Structure 1
């Protein structure tokens, strides 16, 4: 990674403390520190390093780290799936690469299902699983590479090609996620680079007190279903100073059957290719108290997006979006209760949504509430989209903060109607190169 670029990215807000009005995460979140104690330092060995890394993790006392380092011109640790212990750390050092095996059999939950299309889904273990843990996490300036671009052993296609074939032929691609967290508290992900996941990169399910700080996620725009970070059934989560480009949602805040998601802060991040900053599409358990602040979305297809439908809808409320720069987006603002048009009895209802200081240079705005009894309720304050290419508004109560007036497409596109548009000059930065 270019050191100057990274330093710039990580210095856009104070490193010592996130001091933000309206912060949704109820914790006082400060920049993490690296573990003080290392229980084991490993260097790469030929072949699959899974057993030796897993044994080191199992033997590591809580509060200490297993550190992977490059040595003697070798930097890659090939490994099958790994499970983290409560309180332990995995430290991938600068220049080191923890690379996921391309053998579907290594990830099988049911014999022979991983690496195939089927009516079932979720038949692969994740590459790294953190389950029923408190404390610890994953840190370091190295890389965790999911190998989604690698041809699967014994197959003729990559993980990503299997996902594209599922899209064309139907069925579900059974491919591993990169990092899956379940039933965990007080975890930290710091400075790590995640790349080429076969599926979602970092999934946070039934979690509380999670800090994601200064990480980089880098996967091609055409890699299907490769979400960056997905918090679901999550409480008190901060994602800060991170850089994400991927083939699906850069971040997707979800609330499916596992429980509600609330008190989430998304602060000082930079998105490049991907599907944007999303809430949904699963909202049936409720999403609330969300802060999204100081965000650039440079070339994402969607920008700020809340998406659901009556097959998995619920209440989304108290969402505050502030200081957002959008560039070259098809849909800079999309608040849609008929996302995929699926039908059911779970009504999506978006209430108390506010957007302040949001600037974009093109695209279509979609404001689509469910019905007159469950209208979209959104307030615009200094929201400006240049070259507005379309405006859809239905079952929506839309206000401007200055006077409570309902804006029209012309008011959103006209700088005089929103006083002074939020300035985005100087906020666009090149994507950081890999650290050497």
Structure 2
């Protein structure tokens, strides 16, 4: 059945204006109402900064690798001695110093690291400080074995956190001072070798939270990570409220990411200017087989996934809420590609995404393949404003051509009140709707589209890739009762396994007039 086009929309306010909620308004989640976290009532130790950055950088202070982490022991000793329920607070020095310089730190249960507004905790750029015994940190290797410790590790902690209005800076664009690439490559140059040489980067993450519970992130900015910014796996209870994640910052780029020719990693080593597309594998907020996860009132612009919900073991990933957030450069709010332990009960509401016409820009995405697939179910997206994105909606069980017998299944997916304002470069972009119906499997994508509106030129569908079919394929659509602007392109086909139920109607598109906020207005280190 060929559905008739519905292209007459009035762009008026509708219930649930995108991004109109006050930043302190509690969020309703699957496990109850969550309020904005409070800062710690008791501080066990206050440490004053002794270093002064120059133009947002401390590279002039640690060219000698023996002086790469002057504050590590001091901060770690205070964390170790701090009683549960209290915080170690980093503040500015009496003469206006605002910088700390540290190597890897370990949080403990009940203790919060508090970085004051105006203060920056800079990460060491000496790979030897992060070495976990493998000996290859700061290089690109054929081996995929991880060889770097994270800057901050919370292992099996309960009731810990990182808070405050300050910044934690991973210095991904700084030349490393130790190891085989000393004074020759930045962390991001090493990461670029993933793309150019098929090697595995050995770079540290900023924050790794593993196998713990009730971790809090509040107000903090994480920027310029050499690898992932936040990686949380096996965590029950993670609240991230009002955080900012940015890569690259102005310290490593230009306003508008207008890097001059010949300065980026595809031209020279070491590079002297970076964009999100050349600071690769810098995911923002990643979770693996975690539950009761909330990301609210936050801002993310990175060189890979804004969010990646993964599930490779344990009880899987379930009960996540993403509410009132702003995304910029990045690949998408993603589920996958590891979904073999199951993903369920994911709610995304009130999200704006401005992809700045990057060729890798994404909107909403569920991705997997037959080497790591599993059941993804009960995922709802609502009140989503998108512009300048090349791939706004992607539901793809053929994300790679890897082989195996872990077959993807995406069911009970709903997209409601989704408004794409178009792109000067990609128009409506490309959409992927596909179930997994090969290798003796019949796992159709079941998806509801209700008030899904693309302005101007309508989107097209992706071509066949990685052994999968032309899309849409193996998809059971439910359309309406609100408008679906590209409904005429969805054709019932028994050969392709496409069915359509419901009838899209008329109605107003989601009002996105107040949805998009310049990142620089909330974070001065942002180039956009």
Q: TM-score, normalised by structure 1?
A: 0.92
For 2:195 and 2:329, locate their aligned partners in 1 and report how far apart those are by CA, in whole Å: 20
Q: Does 1:250 align with 2:306?
A: yes
Q: CA RMSD in A?
A: 2.3
Q: How far 1:364 moved relative to its partner?
A: 1.3
> Which of 362, 384, 390 pairs up with 2:453?
384
- Say if 1:396 and 1:108 are closer, same or farther in 2 by CA, change over 3 A: same
- Contact conserved, 2:288 with 2:317, CA < 8 A, in 1? yes
Q: How far 1:403 moved relative to its partner?
A: 9.1
Q: Which residue of 2 aligns with 1:401?
A: 480
- Contact conserved, 1:92 with 1:140, CA < 8 A, in 2? yes
> Which of 201, 207, 212 pairs up with 1:173?
201
- Say if 1:246 and 1:404 are closer, same or farther in 2 by CA, change over 3 A: closer
For 1:76 and 1:146, locate their aligned partners in 2 and report how far apart those are by CA, in whole Å: 13
For 1:214 and 1:10, locate their aligned partners in 2 and report how far apart those are by CA, in whole Å: 13
Q: Which residue of 1 aligns with 2:80?
A: 58
- Say if 1:149 and 1:403 are closer, same or farther in 2 by CA, change over 3 A: closer
Q: After alignment, is 180-189 or 361-370 more displaced?
A: 361-370
Q: Which residue of 2 aligns with 1:208?
A: 236
- Contact conserved, 1:335 with 1:366, CA < 8 A, in 2? yes
> Which of 398, 402, 420 pairs up with 1:342?
402
For 1:263 and 1:140, locate their aligned partners in 2 and report how far apart those are by CA, in whole Å: 26
For 1:144 and 1:343, locate their aligned partners in 2 and report how far apart those are by CA, in whole Å: 39
For 1:393 and 1:70, locate their aligned partners in 2 and report how far apart those are by CA, in whole Å: 56
For 2:282 and 2:145, locate their aligned partners in 1 and report how far apart those are by CA, in whole Å: 15
Q: After alignment, is 103-112 or 264-273 more displaced?
A: 103-112
Q: How far 1:259 moved relative to its partner?
A: 4.1
For the residue of structure 1 that corresponds to 2:313, the secondary structure is coil
Q: Which residue of 1 aligns with 2:57?
A: none
Structure with the greater alpha carbon radius of gyration:
2
For 1:278 and 1:80, locate their aligned partners in 2 and report how far apart those are by CA, in whole Å: 30
Q: Does 1:159 align with 2:159?
A: no
- Contact conserved, 2:157 with 2:211, CA < 8 A, in 1? yes
Q: Which residue of 1 aligns with 2:347?
A: 291
- Contact conserved, 1:354 with 1:378, CA < 8 A, in 2? yes
Q: How does 1:236-315 map to 2 (within 5 A)?
A: 236-299=292-355, 301-315=361-375
Tell me the alpha carbon deviations over residues 30-76 of structure 1, each in whole angstroms, 9 at most, x when there is no partner: 00110000000001235510000000000000011100011112111
Q: Which residue of 2 aligns with 1:4?
A: none
- Say if 1:81 and 1:121 are closer, same or farther in 2 by CA, change over 3 A: same
Q: Which residue of 2 aligns with 1:316?
A: 376
For 1:374 and 1:347, locate their aligned partners in 2 and report how far apart those are by CA, in whole Å: 8
Q: TM-score, normalised by structure 2?
A: 0.77
Q: How does 1:6-17 map to 2 (within 5 A)?
A: 12-13=21-22, 15-17=24-26
- Contact conserved, 1:200 with 1:227, CA < 8 A, in 2? yes
Q: Does 1:27 align with 2:32?
A: yes
Tell me the alpha carbon deviations over residues 379-407 of structure 1, each in whole angstroms, 9 at most, x when there is no partner: 00101123224123011111113299994
For 1:153 and 1:182, locate their aligned partners in 2 and report how far apart those are by CA, in whole Å: 29
Q: Which residue of 1 aligns with 2:10?
A: none
Q: How far 1:420 moved relative to its partner?
A: 1.8
- Contact conserved, 2:418 with 2:453, CA < 8 A, in 1? yes
- Contact conserved, 1:353 with 1:379, CA < 8 A, in 2? yes
For 2:20 and 2:459, locate their aligned partners in 1 and report how far apart those are by CA, in whole Å: 35
- Contact conserved, 2:482 with 2:506, CA < 8 A, in 1? no
For the residue of structure 2 that corresponds to 1:408, the secondary structure is helix
- Contact conserved, 1:95 with 1:435, CA < 8 A, in 2? no
- Contact conserved, 2:20 with 2:514, CA < 8 A, in 1? no
Q: After alignment, is 42-51 or 295-304 more displaced?
A: 42-51
Q: How far 1:350 moved relative to its partner?
A: 0.2
Greater share of strand residues, 1 or 2?
1
For the residue of structure 2 that corresponds to 1:165, the secondary structure is helix
For the residue of structure 2 that corresponds to 1:147, the secondary structure is coil
For 2:22 and 2:418, locate their aligned partners in 1 and report how far apart those are by CA, in whole Å: 18
Q: Does 1:114 align with 2:147?
A: no
Q: How far 1:18 moved relative to its partner?
A: 1.4
Q: Does 1:40 align with 2:45?
A: yes
Q: How far 1:342 moved relative to its partner?
A: 1.7
- Contact conserved, 1:94 with 1:435, CA < 8 A, in 2? no
Q: How far 1:10 moved relative to its partner?
A: 9.1
- Say if 1:425 and 1:404 are closer, same or farther in 2 by CA, change over 3 A: closer
Q: Which residue of 1 aligns with 2:9?
A: none
Q: How far 1:112 moved relative to its partner?
A: 2.3
Q: How far 1:116 moved relative to its partner?
A: 1.5
Q: How far 1:121 moved relative to its partner?
A: 2.9
Q: How far 1:303 moved relative to its partner?
A: 0.4
For the residue of structure 1 that corresponds to 2:211, the secondary structure is strand
Q: Does 1:363 align with 2:363?
A: no
Q: After alignment, is 377-386 or 351-360 more displaced?
A: 377-386
Q: After alignment, is 391-400 or 10-19 more displaced?
A: 10-19
Q: How far 1:258 moved relative to its partner?
A: 4.5
Q: How far 1:28 moved relative to its partner?
A: 2.2
> Which of 163, 182, 207 pairs up with 1:139?
163
Q: Which residue of 1 aligns with 2:261?
A: none
Q: How many equivalent residue pairs?
A: 422
Structure of greater relative contact order (alpha carbons < 8 Å, 6+ residues apart)? 2
